[in-house]
Amino acid sequence: MRALSAFRRIRAAVGLLSGAVLVPVLAACGGSSGTSVSPTPSATGSGNPPAAHLTVLAAASLTDVFKTAGATYEEEHPGTKVAFSFAGSQELAAQVEQGVPADALVTADTRTMDDLKDETNAPVVIAKNRLVIATAPGNPHKIGSLKDLANPKLQVVLAAPEVPVGRYSQQILDRQGITVKPVSQETNVRAVLSKVELGEADAGLVYKTDAAAAKGKVDAVEIPDDQNAIASYPAATLKATKKAASADAFVKWLSSPEAQKILRQAGFQKP
């Protein structure tokens, strides 16, 4: 009888111990009362895009302004990093067609973007630009208009015709009936600008914003509106991106008041 009584006391103690272990476990699971523990809100649930490392292919003429815009975007979206790859729009198109990993694309013309419609989502124009004649500081050759570029004594550099700025340049020259024999045809607008900066050319046709970014290194001769061309900059996410929500958020941000202010300050025109 004493052995049986001792056994019962041991079994009761084990029961109490098991109950003590089960209570916190059941509480953590919500118990049997039907109540549940509320989940911790996620970053994406708050309406903000998930943090991501984005790669954006962008036209060379956006080099300076996008560095500023990217830094601002990263400050506003902790954890997100934006890396840019700058080149001529035709080079960017080739990269997209070759499947180079990237999340968004911004070109300096709508034609290039339209040609990539199978690779991109719907684009939106975020800015516009115009051309100017870049000369050495002080404009030593006294270039005053497009017709002066036809002077055979001048060394003029243009972008290649397959480059947006090169195509715009040829369009405005053709409309004025001006024939220019460039000493070189470059792969992007920054290469044209560099030739003038280094004294390897007397003049070149570049975007107004590029000349402004090189203030002090080149002078800019304005081209009248009726002789000029307007460059449009469309932005779009790439269908191949694996970070669609974050890429879409960045592209949409480029049209926001803050991003547009940065673009205006750099000399870009409203979309």
The total number of residues written for the chain in this structure: 271
Give ranges for CATH 3.40.190.10 in the chain: 50-128+232-265, 129-230
Q: What is the pLDDT of residue 50?
A: 87
Closest CA to 88 of 217, 189, 14: 189
* pTM of the full structure: 0.80
Superfamily of chain region 50-128+232-265 = Periplasmic binding protein-like II (3.40.190.10)
- 234, 215 Cβ separation under 8 angstroms: no
Which residues of the chain fall below pLDDT 50? 1-46
Q: What is the pLDDT of residue 124?
A: 98
Q: What is the pLDDT of residue 152?
A: 95
Q: What is the pLDDT of residue 244?
A: 97
**The tokens of 26 are what?**
């059941």
Distance CA 29, CA 23 (A): 10
Q: What is the pLDDT of residue 239?
A: 98
Q: What is the pLDDT of residue 86?
A: 97
Distance CA 189, CA 229 (A): 15
Q: What is the pLDDT of residue 53?
A: 97
Burial 175-213 (b: 16+ CB within 10 A, else e): eeeeebebebbbbbbbbbbbbbbeeebbbbbbbbbbbbb
Which run of H or of E encompasses 208?
helix 208-213
Q: What is the pLDDT of residue 49?
A: 83
- Give the rounded percent of residues in the chain with a pLDDT score beyond 70: 83
**The tokens of 258 are what?**
């803050």
Q: What is the pLDDT of residue 30?
A: 39
Q: Euclidean distance between the first and final Cα of the chain, in Å? A: 96
Superfamily of chain region 129-230 = Periplasmic binding protein-like II (3.40.190.10)
Distance CA 219, CA 136 (A): 6
